[in-house]
Amino acid sequence: MIEPKVLKGFKDSLPQEEFYRKYLISKIEDNLKLYGYLPIDTPTLEYKEILLGKGGGETDKQVFIFKDKGDREVGLRYDLTVPLARFIAMHENEIVFPFKRYHIAKAWRGEKPQRGRFREFYQADFDIIGIDSIESDIEIISLIYNLLKNLGIDNITIKINDRSLMHQIFKKIGISNYEKEILLILDKYYKIPEKEFIENLKNIIGDKSEEILRITKFENRENLFDFLKDRYDIYSTRLEKVIDFFKQINLQEFVTIDFTITRGLDYYTGIVFETFIKDYVELGSVCSGGRYDNLTSIFSKNKYSGIGSSIGLDRLISYLFEKNLIPKVSFCNLLIANLNPSDLGLYYKILNKMHSSQISCEIYPEATKLKKQFKYSEDKNIPFILFLGEEEKEKSILKLKNIDTGKEIVFSTIEKLIDYLKNPQNSTSL
């Protein structure tokens, strides 16, 4: 006998969890399709050199790398961005640019397992590749707003910043040499005490940290952009235009500037953003991303600028679940009691009619004790059982029992029964 167990950092997905994930993914896909995004997929395994490039970073240590039976060094993808870059470089002649693609799939990292973090996890990415325009920046942010609204989440803040603007400012202040370090410190603004934040800045740029600190403090855009003009001679940036657009369409409540959003060490070069749910900021960002200016740099001489975003599926599921925003459904709506094996043909007649009306319905797969059939219905949360016993057959009626209330209703035709089950007040089906 072999002990049944799963690897550390991995887990099974039981029906309820898997149902929620499928619900969320299909909602996300519906939204992306409305905007004309196209699905792609890439292999789970890639050549090691594709995944790690010249490599050597923190991520590299976490990648599942091994030798296959052909002695090739291969690995499990650790994100969907590297495979996307490889995909674009390989298929540039088969793709319609600007290429709007989405990819929702698993990735793997051998991280130390923490609460809520697993070695196998989903990524849900969407990008517009091959164009550097303000319209595509706006589209991605607008899509995130609408996607979350359609999921029932309308209390969000999308915090945006622009790495190219930061670059300009740092240049004017004369601290360009420390750009990377400062971006990393800014990224930690909300995670560490203010005193520590200032200390960290001071350690690197001394008195000039005052300037950075001042920018992070502006609470409305007019003051901030006036300050940038007056002090640094920086005019009419893309960040300003993006923010103005969302003001113009009355979404200023949801899209704000935050100079501490930098996306740390990522490869972004333009607009960057993170999305927070106002009544659950602790959850962290549920949707982050930004603009990059050379996606395929290690694979191709052709430059592809683009903007992309990644949805935190697991965070969203836990939020939707907590706030009751996932419809409470039974997996199945009607159980036909199996009273007599020789009536199976009759049961199937009804089953097929239910299915034609898109009502989920099953026949208990054995003419066993009613108690057992009731228990199945209860355990599986099937709200109704249909009885077609001798009496019902004789009288040509259908007897429906509500499992919760115990109430019985009699129908004279299948059509009436279907009408009853299709009425959302009676049914809890999807």
Using CB under 8 A, which residues numbered 59 to 88 contact a copy of itself?
Answer: 61, 64, 66-70, 72, 74, 76, 86-87
Other CB atoms within a 10 A radius of the CB of residue 50 amount to 18
Instruction: In angstroms, give the least distance from the CB of 32 to a copy of itself.
Output: 10
Please tell me whether residue 53 binds a copy of itself under the rule CB under 8 A: yes
Instruction: In angstroms, give the least distance from the CB of 62 to a copy of itself.
Output: 8
- Show the site string, 309-338: x = touches a copy of itself by CB under 8 A, - = not: ----------------------xx-----x
Residues 209-268 that bind a copy of itself (CB under 8 A): 245, 248-249
CB nearer to a copy of itself: pick between 67 and 416:
67
Which position among 81, 98, 276, 287 is part of the footprint of a copy of itself (CB under 8 A)? 98
337 three-class SS: coil
Q: Which among 153-161, 163-171, 376-384, 413-421 is the span making contact with a copy of itself, rule CB under 8 A? A: 376-384
Instruction: In angstroms, give the least distance from the CB of 303 to a copy of itself.
Output: 13
Q: Which among 187-195, 204-212, 265-273, 340-348 is the span making contact with a copy of itself, rule CB under 8 A? A: 340-348
DSSP letters for 148-190: HHHTT---EEEEEEEHHHHHHHHHHHT-GGGHHHHHHHHHTTT
Which position among 28, 80, 81, 136 is part of the footprint of a copy of itself (CB under 8 A)? 136
Please tell me whether residue 112 binds a copy of itself under the rule CB under 8 A: no
Instruction: In angstroms, give the least distance from the CB of 370 to a copy of itself.
Output: 15
CB nearer to a copy of itself: pick between 86 and 212:
86
Strands (DSSP E) found in 42-167: 45-47, 65-67, 73-76, 99-108, 120-129, 156-162
Closest CA to 42 of 82, 98, 100: 82
Which position among 78, 108, 304, 319 is part of the footprint of a copy of itself (CB under 8 A)? 108
Q: How far apart are CA 410 and CA 394, in angstroms?
A: 14
Residue 48: both structure tokens together: 């090691």
Size of the site for a copy of itself (CB under 8 A): 106
Residue 78: both structure tokens together: 């650790």
Which position among 207, 222, 379, 394 is part of the footprint of a copy of itself (CB under 8 A)? 379
Q: How far apart are CA 417 and CA 395, in angstroms?
A: 16
Integer angstrom CA distances of residue 177 from 167, 182, 188, 383: 10, 10, 19, 66
Other CB atoms within a 10 A radius of the CB of residue 306 amount to 28
Element containing residue 386 per DSSP (H, E)? strand 384-387
Element containing residue 86 per DSSP (H, E)? helix 81-91
Instruction: In angstroms, give the least distance from the CB of 210 to a copy of itself.
Output: 37
Q: Which among 189-197, 198-206, 360-368, 386-394 is the span making contact with a copy of itself, rule CB under 8 A? A: 360-368
One-letter identity of residue 124? A
Please tell me whether residue 139 binds a copy of itself under the rule CB under 8 A: yes
Please tell me whether residue 187 binds a copy of itself under the rule CB under 8 A: no
Which position among 348, 404, 412, 419 is part of the footprint of a copy of itself (CB under 8 A)? 348
Which position among 24, 28, 46, 257 is part of the footprint of a copy of itself (CB under 8 A)? 46
Q: Which residues have CB under 8 Å from 374's CB, separation 6+?
A: 385, 403
Please tell me whether residue 344 binds a copy of itself under the rule CB under 8 A: yes
Determine the distance from the C-alpha atom of residue 347 to the mean position of all C-alpha atoms in its chain, rounded to a whole number: 41
Which position among 28, 78, 80, 100 is part of the footprint of a copy of itself (CB under 8 A)? 100
- Checking DSSP bridges between strand 255-257 and strand 361-363, what pairing results, if any? unpaired
Please tell me whether residue 142 binds a copy of itself under the rule CB under 8 A: yes
Q: How far apart are CA 141 and CA 160, in angstroms?
A: 9
Query: Do 119 and 288 contact (CB within 8 A), yes or no?
Result: no
Please tell me whether residue 36 binds a copy of itself under the rule CB under 8 A: yes
Please tell me whether residue 403 binds a copy of itself under the rule CB under 8 A: no
Please tell me whether residue 56 binds a copy of itself under the rule CB under 8 A: no
Q: How far apart are CA 422 and CA 384, in angstroms?
A: 13
Q: How far apart are CA 57 and CA 38, in angstroms?
A: 32
Q: Which among 190-198, 204-212, 353-361, 395-403 is the span making contact with a copy of itself, rule CB under 8 A? A: 353-361
- Checking DSSP bridges between strand 334-336 and strand 361-363, what pairing results, if any? parallel
